[in-house]
Amino acid sequence: MALLLLPILGTTVSAASAVTIENPFWLEERDLGLEAVAAGGSTNQVVLVAGADGYARLLDGDDPTIQVELGTPNTNTLRAIDWHPRGNTALLAGDAGTLLRYAGEDHSVTTVSGSGVMAGVDLAAVAWNAAGTYAYVGGEDGWIWAYHEGEGGIGVFDLLNDTGDSQVTGIACHAEVNLCVVSTLSDGIAVLDSRTEHTLHWIGGTDGVWRGVNCAEPNWNRCIAIGDGRKIGRIGIEQDTPPTSTIMTQIINGLSGQFTTVHTRGAGEALVTLAPFHVMAWDVTNAEGYEWVDHDSVRKESSSLAGERLIGTWGTVDNPDIGFIVTSFGGIIGFHPVEEKNVWTDSAVSWVIGALVIVAVPGVVLGLIFMNSETLQKKYHARRTAKREAAATAATEAEILAKKSARKGKKK
C-alpha cells in the first residue's frame, strides 16, 4: 500500500494559478495614474513606465526597486511606449499630440522634432518596425503617421492613407518582417506594410471592439488582438501577399472580466491582463490560454491590491516565468512559478509515510525471497511441524501429571 501511495503523494501543485505573486511595492504613496509599460534596453533589460501628468520612470528589469526618475518636458498623459529594436532609445506617445524620445545614454526625455504636426490629436499607440527605420504613431479618429528622422535630425511625419475613422487602440510590428498590425475601436484590424509606402490592408474584425494587439511569435507570422467580451483575434500575416492575411475570432470562456492590455511574456507567448485584477497567458503558437494569476488568489493576498487596474506586465530575460505586473496606481508586483509542495517536507505526512515504508518495504522484500526459495519454505514447514509436535508432547505430559496428582489426592 505504501509503495502504491508514493507516486500519488510525491508532488502536489496548485491548480489555481501558474504563478504566485509576492512582495508588492508602490513607486510612490500617491496614485500615479500609470497608462503604459514597455520592456527593452540594449545591454540589459530595463523597463519604462509612464502615465498621467507626463510621469515617467525607468526600472531595472530584474530588480525594479532600482530606478531612475525621468523628467519630461510636458504634463500631458502618456499612453503608449515602444523601444527601438536596438534598445538605445524609446518613444513615448500621449495626449495632445505628445511624442517624446527617451535616450538611454543620459536618461534624457525630449520632444521629438517635427511632432507638432500631430498637435491636438490624442495618441494611444506607437511601434517601431522590425528594421527600426520607421515608427508608427496612431490615435483618435483613426489618425496614423509614419515617422522617421530626416536630415539634420528633423523628424519627418507622413500621414497614412486609407485609415479608419475610429480610435487606433494598438500597433504591433512583427520582429522579423517589416509588417505591422493595427487594432481599432470599430474599424477592425489592418496589416501595415512598411515595404510599400506604408500601405494599410484591412482584413476584417469589424464586428467588435479591439483593445490592443501583440506580435509575440517571432518565428511564425502570427499576431493576436484582444477585444471586448474576452475575444481573441488570431491573425495570420501573409508576408508575400498582405491583403490575403486573415483573422479568426474566438471567445475565451471560463474567465470573468474584460481584457485590458496584452504584452509579450516570451517567444510565442503573451500575457493578457483583465479587469478586475486577473492575468491570462496566451500561447500564440498553439492558440491556447491558461490561468497565469487568478483574481481569487490576489484578493486573498490583498483586497486593496485586487481592486487596482492592471496596465501591463513583463517577464525577465533569463526566465520569463519570473517577472512583474504593473498597476495604474503605481504598484509593482513580482510573480514566480508556484512552489511544488513535496510531501516528504511535510513533517506529519512524512512521518506517516516513513513509518509505512519502514514496515512495508522489508516485509515485501522478505516475502518475495521466501516465496521464491524452496529451501526456506521447507525449513519453515519443518520448524512449524516441530513446534506442533513439541506442543502436543507438552500437552500429553501435562495431562499425565494432572492424572497422577488426582490419584494421589484420592489415596490421601
Contact 215, 223 (CB under 8 A): yes
Based on the fold, state whether residues 383 and 245 are members of the same structural domain. Answer: no
Based on the fold, state whether residues 93 and 174 are members of the same structural domain. Answer: yes
Which of 337, 355, 390 marks a domain boundary?
Answer: 337
Report the range of poorest mean pLDDT among 285-289, 292-296, 347-351.
Answer: 347-351
Residue 366, C-beta contacts closer than 8 angstroms, at least 6 positions apart:
none
Q: 16-33 pLDDT, tens per residue?
A: 678 888 889 999 999 999
Based on the fold, state whether residues 210 and 353 are members of the same structural domain. Answer: no
Residue 14, pLDDT score = 33
Based on the fold, state whether residues 379 and 286 are members of the same structural domain. Answer: no
Report the CATH number that the domain containing residue 86 is assigned in CATH: 2.130.10.10
Contact 211, 226 (CB under 8 A): yes
Based on the fold, state whether residues 10 and 23 are members of the same structural domain. Answer: no
Based on the fold, state whether residues 354 and 305 are members of the same structural domain. Answer: no
Q: 326-378 pLDDT, tens per residue?
A: 999 999 999 998 876 554 555 555 555 555 556 555 665 666 665 666 776 66
Based on the fold, state whether residues 313 and 349 are members of the same structural domain. Answer: no
Q: Which of 202, 249, 204 is nearest to 229 (CA)?
A: 249
- pLDDT (mean) for 187-194: 97
Based on the fold, state whether residues 80 and 100 are members of the same structural domain. Answer: yes
Neighbours of 25 (CB within 10 A): 11
- Cell numbers linked to 384: 512449524
Which of 287, 320, 337 marks a domain boundary?
Answer: 337
Based on the fold, state whether residues 167 and 246 are members of the same structural domain. Answer: yes
Q: How far apart are CA 1 and CA 376, in angstroms?
A: 26
Query: Per this entry, what is the length of the chain?
Result: 412
Based on the fold, state whether residues 206 and 88 are members of the same structural domain. Answer: yes
Neighbours of 299 (CB within 10 A): 15
Number of domains in the chain: 3
Based on the fold, state whether residues 400 and 301 are members of the same structural domain. Answer: no
Based on the fold, state whether residues 55 and 179 are members of the same structural domain. Answer: yes
Domain hosting 389: range is: 373-412
Q: 58-72 pLDDT, tens per residue?
A: 999 999 999 999 999
